[in-house]
């Protein structure tokens, strides 16, 4: 059942550019008049289908939850969990010395392999990129960790500094969406400016959505 929920989740929202991605585009599930918007913040209140969020920059944001909306959680993983053939989403920034350095890593469940494959601009930080791709290899050494990613016949190497958040997905319920919970919401912005979504990712057991 959780696999089916994840298929729906990523087919409609998280894969917006990815997370298009992510890919996954959020706008593709909406009308042509809607745009994809990623909301990051903390739940203030949930009343019926109205979710109030305080964004990471302190703004008060209202999001309408669509009928049948679903939640998923993130759970902690580690670099050693990344294996050749896994499908991952890595947000990264260019390094001054060249190449990219990871900001976070999401290990997709096997059922979502291939969703939103590609490398896209991302808004976690200015100039950041999200890459959804298959792991060719991952190497950890005294000089640091590096993941080789393959997508659409291209290859990209991303270094993963120690301490970089690495997560995967886990089940969640409506009860997990409560005040104080950190959320990542791939929403759609209507022509009238209102935001809506059919899915969101919540922090749980001390792990917050890093994407």
Domains and CATH numbers, the chain: 35-73+169-202 (2.40.50.140), 75-168 (no CATH)
Which residues are 34's β-sheet partners? none
Which residues are 166's β-sheet partners? 105
Mean pLDDT value across the chain:
85
> Coil, strand, or helix at residue 33?
coil
Structure tokens belonging to residue 88:
């991952």
- The pLDDT of 51-75, averaged and rounded, is 96
Q: What are 126-149's pLDDT values in tens digits? A: 999 999 999 998 777 656 799 999
Lowest mean pLDDT segment, chosen from 143-147, 156-160, 165-169: 143-147
Which residues are 92's β-sheet partners? 102, 129
Q: For 56, how many CA atoms within 13 A lie in the half-sphere containing its CB? A: 14
Residue 59 in this model has a pLDDT that exceeds 70: yes
Query: Residues 136, 119: contact at Cβ < 8 Å?
Result: no
Res. 74 pLDDT band, cuts 50 70 90: very high
């Amino acid at each position: 059942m959780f696999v089916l929920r994840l298929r729906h989740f990523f087919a409609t929202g998280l894969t917006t550019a990815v997370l298009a991605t992510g890919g996954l585009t959020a706008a593709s599930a909406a009308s042509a008049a809607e745009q994809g918007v990623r909301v990051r913040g903390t739940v203030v209140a949930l009343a019926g289908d109205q979710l109030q969020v305080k964004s990471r920059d302190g703004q008060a944001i209202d999001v309408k939850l669509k009928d049948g909306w679903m939640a998923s959680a993130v759970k902690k993983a580690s670099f050693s969990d990344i294996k050749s053939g896994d499908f991952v989403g890595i947000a990264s920034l260019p390094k001054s010395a060249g190449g990219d350095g990871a900001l976070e890593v999401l290990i997709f469940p096997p059922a979502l392999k291939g969703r939103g494959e590609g490398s896209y601009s991302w808004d976690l930080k200015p100039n950041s990129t999200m890459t959804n791709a298959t792991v060719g290899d991952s190497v950890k050494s005294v000089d640091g960790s590096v993941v080789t990613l393959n997508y659409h016949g291209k290859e990209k190497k991303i270094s993963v500094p120690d301490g970089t958040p690495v997560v995967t997905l886990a089940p969640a319920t409506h009860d997990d969406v409560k005040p104080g919970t950190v959320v990542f919401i791939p929403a759609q912005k209507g022509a009238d400016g209102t935001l809506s979504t059919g899915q969101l990712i919540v922090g749980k057991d001390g792990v917050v959505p890093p994407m």
